Amino acid sequence: MEGVEGGRLAGQVPVRKSKEVKNKHMNRILEEELKASLVDGKLSCAVAFKIARKLEVSPKQVGEADNRLNIKIASCQLGCFP
């Protein structure tokens, strides 16, 4: 079949690859937002939740990005991080 490569039309990006690119882009935006929101090198819990809502990502994704960037959470609303 002409124009077909590996089960997809020639020139089409596989769905998985497209999602990976989208996720990398979102992670970069999320990390930039987190870095811009730091106060004394820390991020308040309330701001972390605000960023999650703003970027339409889960609080878990924000926490994972915090971990990757070694950002500490301060003023935790649950009292977990003083």
- Domain boundary assignment for the chain: 14-74
Start-end of H helices in the chain: 15-36, 45-55, 59-68
Per-residue pLDDT tens digits for 20-54: 667 888 889 999 999 999 999 999 999 999 999 99
Residue 4 three-state SS: strand
Is the distance from CB of 45 to CB of 81 less than 8 angstroms?
Answer: yes
CA separation for the pair 17, 75 (Å, rounded): 38
Per-residue pLDDT tens digits for 7-20: 555 566 555 556 66
Per-residue pLDDT tens digits for 58-68: 999 999 999 99
Higher pLDDT, 82 or 69: 69
Q: Give pTM, 2 decimals.
A: 0.70
